[in-house]
Chain A
Amino acid sequence: MELHQQILQYLLSGFSTGAIYALIGFGFAIIYNATTIINFAQGEFVMLGGMLSYFFLSVVHLPLPAAVVLAVLATTAVGIAFERLAIRPLKNATPLSLVIITIGGSILIRGLTMLIWGKDTHALPSFSGSEPIDIGGATILPQNLWIFGITIVIIVVNKLFFNYSITGKAMRACATNRRAASLVGIDVRRMVLFSFVISSAMGSMAGIIIAPLTMTAYDVGIMLGLKGFCAAIIGGLSSGFGTVLGGLLLGVLESLGAGLISSGYKDAIAFVILLLILFIRPQGLFKKADSERV
């Protein structure tokens, strides 16, 4: 096999994983912008998406589309409950204690999932067949196309929502300055709730579209969450294209690193990038310091 074909394969694999990282990173960014906290339960939303669609599909025996929709709705409900029960009741809490609460929440969600559905790994069927598609000597699966397609749709819809709808604009206003936003009559707390709704729905979608390729279990959220967090940090925690580029960059570097250097360094690559960014460019790779966050 020619080297350029190999590289093409690494790139395609990298983009596919990167798209998932981007979706998860997006969730981090949206909540960060509304609340200035990092929601470490984001990875659990991803896990819940996969596990719940497995549940609705294989235990309740619903058709796949219905299972997917229900899984997203159920995860969103969990996101709302999380915000209502764990974030909102705390008045004047420091961001640090809120972050720790999200870590606690993530452990709780993971533990409950384990108790309810056990510790087994589960497979989800592909959305449309599993015959590989040949692209210039490299191959991808139809599921990879679903991942690309759904990621693009979600990101475009988000962009439109934040730029053109009143609610989206209100959320951006909160991101820029919470006090000023509430002075002009924006219900900040509602916007925080919205941010949890959007990011839990998005996270669960990421968990669902990746599950046919990678399978799902109660503990898949930790690693995916951390990688998504890396993507968001590379993108400077913006909910714009920075996070998307961050995710793709991370996915491609991991894949190239595993293929050309050694797979032992795969996770190390992600976390070295994370550390470098935090040290050298804490505002993210793609923007100037102190620009607006959305």
Chain B
Amino acid sequence: MMTKRLRLLSAVLMVLFCCNAALAASTIKIGALFSVTGPAAFLGEPERNTAQMLVNEINKAGGVKGQKLELVAYDTGGDATKAVQLATKLIKDDKVAAIIGPSTTGESMAVIPVAEKDQVPLISCAAGIKITEPVKKWVFKTAQNDTLAVARIFEYLQKHKVSKVAILTVSDGFGASGREQLKAQAGKYGIQILIDDTFGPKDTDMTAQLTKIRGSQAQAIICWGTNPGPAIVAKNARQLGIKIPLYMSHGVSSKKFIELAGNAAEGIRLPSGKVIVADLLPKSDPQRKSLMAFVQDYQKHYKVEGDHFGGHAWDAVMLLKGAIERGGTTPATIRDQLEKTKNYHGIGGTFTYSPADHAGLTKDAFVLVEVKNKDWVLVK
């Protein structure tokens, strides 16, 4: 009895397996490396969710040119070594046509040599400028460069005749990169950095740094970090009665920041991708359609608001879809078509890749927003 059943079962399995193999012929495998757990989980989780959601939807709508997409997603845990191993696995074992991710700059830099050597296109979801500068043949990215965010703030300051600022950056990768850009671009906008101070990612009190700034001639403070540090900076600045305007980075452009900083968030300005203000954008904005689709879709599936990070993965999948639609089928042809992407109005901005630019965005990708009554408003 038992053996009979087993035989039947294995026969069924065989049939299923054959079907699978037959089906597999018409699917395109996309690899994904996201740090779903670990310190960068706040990036990887929405990215994985978004990529899976979008791939499912594309398949439900008939796939790309009749071919289904298959997402093979692995969790790197934010570990660069693991990311490299998994990238190799994706290429050698899963034989993917392209890879989306990793989530962080460190992991991306580690995976780049693998993608370059094995000639598989990689669309990183991390922001570090080093990823696509200098341009690497097989590497693209969707997250906005820090450079663009810094330019947005400085441009606004210059317009309002602010020339002396204090910068306060977190001492991790994100803050260090922001600090570098702030210092590099200040001169171009006629801005002088009077105080250049830092805080640790786990620090609980920044009054000392802010007291020093309060005692200086600075006309504005620019704080560069990700939660919770900047929320503490906002609270401390309010405690110290600091009257000069406080600017933050796009690293805190989520409702979470307003929730954490409470009243102290009022009046703070920051450059941000357009996701959080999707409903405030003028009808004429070319990104509006993508943005609304992403935000509503994410809300429906995961019961939370979609954020920028999910947007990076959305853009990566859509860019690949575009490349496959234009005729990409193998890693090499997909790469060539990716590079020809023109005016794709995505979540992070309007992408136009070229052989000299694999980041594809301009500073229009950012808008300046201000916190008013616990919500965002656009700063004109």
Taking Cβ atoms with an 8 Å cutoff, the residues of A that contact B are 1, 3, 6, 9-10, 13, 16-17, 119-123, 125, 130, 132, 134, 139-141, 210, 213-215, 217, 219-220, 222-224, 254-256, 258-259, 262-264, 266-267
Scoring B residues 181 to 218 as 1 if CB is less than 8 Å from chain A, else 0, what string do you get?
A: 00000000000000001111011111111011011000
Q: Is the CB of B239 within 8 A of A140?
A: yes
From A20, which residue of chain B is reached at the shortest CB distance?
B204
Instruction: Kindly name the residue among A141, A263, A264 whose own CB sees the greatest number of chain B CB atoms within 10 A.
Output: A263
Q: Is B289 an interface residue (CB 8 A)?
A: no
From A217, which residue of chain B is reached at the shortest CB distance?
B228
Q: Is the CB of A214 within 8 A of B205?
A: yes
| A-B pairs with beta carbons under 8 Å apart, 6 shown | A10-B207, A120-B42, A130-B239, A255-B208, A259-B211, A266-B200
Q: Is B141 an interface residue (CB 8 A)?
A: no
- Taken together as a complex, chains A and B put the C-alpha atoms of A17 and B204 apart, in Å, by 8
Q: Is the CB of B212 within 8 A of A259?
A: yes
**Secondary structure dominating the interface of B:** helix
- Taken together as a complex, chains A and B put the C-alpha atoms of A256 and B207 apart, in Å, by 11
Which of B197, B202, B227, B256 is within 8 Å of A220, CB to CB? B202
- Taken together as a complex, chains A and B put the C-alpha atoms of A213 and B198 apart, in Å, by 19
From B201, which residue of chain A is reached at the shortest CB distance?
A223
**Extra 16 A-B pairs, beta carbons < 8 Å, given A120-B256, A210-B204:** A17-B205, A130-B262, A130-B263, A139-B240, A139-B241, A140-B239, A215-B228, A215-B260, A217-B228, A219-B202, A222-B202, A255-B208, A256-B208, A259-B208, A263-B209, A264-B171
Within the complex, the shortest CB–CB distance from B257 to chain A, in Å, comes to 10
Within the complex, the shortest CB–CB distance from B142 to chain A, in Å, comes to 23
Residues of A with C-beta under 8 A to B214: 1
Within the complex, the shortest CB–CB distance from B219 to chain A, in Å, comes to 15
Q: Is the CB of A263 within 8 A of B198?
A: yes
- Taken together as a complex, chains A and B put the C-alpha atoms of A272 and B231 apart, in Å, by 28
Which of A6, A219, A255, A256 is within 8 Å of B205, CB to CB? A255
Q: Is the CB of B199 within 8 A of A263?
A: yes
Q: Is the CB of A121 within 8 A of B205?
A: no
Q: Is B41 an interface residue (CB 8 A)?
A: yes
Q: How many residues of B contact A (CB 8 A)?
A: 35
Residues of B with C-beta under 8 A to A220: 202, 204
Within the complex, the shortest CB–CB distance from B255 to chain A, in Å, comes to 11
- Taken together as a complex, chains A and B put the C-alpha atoms of A217 and B232 apart, in Å, by 13
Instruction: Kindly name the residue among A134, A139, A220, A222 whose own CB sees the greatest number of chain B CB atoms within 10 A.
Output: A139
Q: Is B118 an interface residue (CB 8 A)?
A: no
If A13-B205, A215-B231, A220-B202 touch, whether A121 touches B239 (CB-CB below 8 Å) is no
Q: Is the CB of A9 within 8 A of B211?
A: yes
From A257, which residue of chain B is reached at the shortest CB distance?
B208
- Taken together as a complex, chains A and B put the C-alpha atoms of A130 and B197 apart, in Å, by 26
If A130-B262, A259-B209 touch, whether A213 touches B240 (CB-CB below 8 Å) is no
Which residues B244-284 have CB closer than 8 A to chain A?
Answer: 256, 259-264
Which of A16, A121, A125, A132 is within 8 Å of B256, CB to CB? A121
- Taken together as a complex, chains A and B put the C-alpha atoms of A3 and B214 apart, in Å, by 11
Q: Is B235 an interface residue (CB 8 A)?
A: yes
Within the complex, the shortest CB–CB distance from A42 to chain B, in Å, comes to 16
Instruction: Kindly name the residue among B41, B202, B263 whose own CB sees the greatest number of chain A CB atoms within 10 A.
Output: B202
Q: Is the CB of B202 within 8 A of A258?
A: no
Which of B200, B228, B232, B239 is within 8 Å of A141, CB to CB? B239
If A140-B239, A141-B239 touch, whether A121 touches B208 (CB-CB below 8 Å) is no
- Taken together as a complex, chains A and B put the C-alpha atoms of A6 and B216 apart, in Å, by 11
If A13-B208, A17-B205, A267-B200 touch, whether A215 touches B232 (CB-CB below 8 Å) is yes
Residues of B with C-beta under 8 A to A217: 228
Q: Is the CB of B235 within 8 A of A213?
A: yes
Q: Is the CB of B200 within 8 A of A123?
A: no
Q: Is the CB of A258 within 8 A of B204?
A: no
Q: Is the CB of A10 within 8 A of B232?
A: no
- Taken together as a complex, chains A and B put the C-alpha atoms of A2 and B260 apart, in Å, by 32
Residues of A with C-beta under 8 A to B42: 119-120
If A121-B256, A130-B263, A214-B232 touch, whether A255 touches B200 (CB-CB below 8 Å) is no
